[in-house]
Amino acid sequence: MQIDLETSLHRWVQAALLDTDQAVRIREFETAHSPRRGARAPILIGLALGGIMLAAGVLLFVAAHWGDLSPTQRMTLLVATVGGLHAAAAFCGDRFHALGVTLHAVGTAALGGAIFLAGQMFNMQEHWPTAVLLWAIGALAGWWLLRQWPQLAFSALLVPAWLIGEWVEAAPKTEAAFLIVAVFNALLSICYLTVRTPQFDARNLDVSRTFAWIGGIGLIPSLLEVALWNTIGLPRTLVGGTLGLTGWTGAFLLPLGFAFLYRRSRVWMNLMSALWVAILTALRLGHTPIAMYAWCALGSAGMIAWGVYETRAERINLGMVGFALTILFFYFSSVMDKLGRSASLIGLGVLFLAGAWYWEKVRRKLVARLQPGGVA
């Protein structure tokens, strides 16, 4: 039940339930602890678009004048661009917090371009993952200093990008090498998504929300990358030797280590998801499509159950999407070609209409069952 504080306080004082001093203390307490209103959605959209356009404009300006500048002028321009953006963000931080966060994010984005351009300018060693590592270090330093979610998001993307870059450079350029990348992306997306629990939200909501958004966006594409790997039918061979063992070990242990860092005793659920990804990879290598569809359906059901267990609606929604995609892929690959043109279209229409109605009904029931607090 919501109440009007001022009206209620006045009524309670008139009824002698509170005295004037108590009413003043209650009013001061509620004023001090009331949640701060954030920026409105149109303002946030404007800041996001403005930040993207500013970053693109800075890159275009540098590219347009790059050839006309001396090495000293180029380096000065790079340092001034990155430093100026962060200085402007610091100036705006107390006056307009959302603008300060945006400018710091643009400055972190500009740092990556400055690193690559500086390496090109001084003809440094052409090992591009090192530049990504330096960019990631800059983003991590920004997160350590500012504690703002854009720097954490950059770090969460750039550290895996550096690891993938090192693997791509070290491994042979074959389909087998990229399967390890796909498995790493899939398991890391699951571990990012499942960072968010009621207990961790209570401690640091910005961190868990940032990881959950990145994991949620990357989950379906990364799993499709594993499930659809090597559809053109090239020889299914794996990277062997010490290099292959290192790649597979890192693909599984690094995401699980991250999950343990944030989930501790609950990491056993992530271990089960790693086992599921490993079996999906084996089914993909064995080219057993029916078993793979059944395994994907089981994984979708597991994600839904995981969401119910830890009271996370986004996992229920993603599990429902995964189940629907599994049915659609199965229909197109194994059913549609066995029917006539009209029958296949009728069946597809019924599948969409009935499936959309039924799955939305089930999804709403599951989400409605969630209660605040989660499991102990």
CA atoms within 13 A on the CB side of 41: 0
pLDDT band at 352 (very low <50, low <70, confident <90, very high): low
Q: Closest Cα to residue 148, out of 206, 90, 88, 214? A: 206
Whole-number mean pLDDT of the chain?
82
Whether the CB-CB separation of 367 and 316 falls below 8 Å is answered with yes
Q: Where are the domains of the chain?
A: 48-170, 171-275, 288-376
Q: Which residues contact 30 (CB under 8 A, 6 or more apart)?
A: 5
Q: How many CB atoms lie within 10 A of CB 132?
A: 22
Whether the CB-CB separation of 220 and 318 falls below 8 Å is answered with yes
The Cα 153–Cα 150 span in angstroms is: 5
- Range 13-25 average pLDDT: 78
- Range 35-43 average pLDDT: 57
The Cα 182–Cα 310 span in angstroms is: 27
Q: How many CB atoms lie within 10 A of CB 94?
A: 8
What are 201-240's pLDDT values in tens digits?
667 888 999 999 999 999 999 999 998 887 655 556 678 7
| The pLDDT of residue 64 | 74
Weakest-pLDDT range from 36-40, 54-58, 157-161, 317-321: 36-40
Weakest-pLDDT range from 143-157, 177-191, 279-293: 279-293
Dihedral angle of Cα 354, 355, 358, 359, to the nearest 10 degrees: -160
What amino acid is encoded at 192 in this protein? Y
The Cα 97–Cα 365 span in angstroms is: 39
What are 236-250's pLDDT values in tens digits?
667 878 888 999 999
DSSP letter at 334?
I
The Cα 129–Cα 167 span in angstroms is: 9
| The pLDDT of residue 158 | 97
What amino acid is encoded at 257 in this protein? G
| The pLDDT of residue 2 | 44
| The pLDDT of residue 35 | 52
Q: Which residue in this structure is represented by tokens 């950059």? A: 154
The Cα 102–Cα 89 span in angstroms is: 8
The Cα 263–Cα 199 span in angstroms is: 10
What amino acid is encoded at 91 in this protein? F
User: Model-level pTM greater than 0.85?
Assistant: no
Q: Which residue in this structure is represented by tokens 């690959």? A: 333
Whether the CB-CB separation of 102 and 47 falls below 8 Å is answered with yes
What are 72-115's pLDDT values in tens digits?
888 888 888 888 888 888 888 777 878 888 888 989 988 988 88
Return the structure tokens found at 204.
């640091």
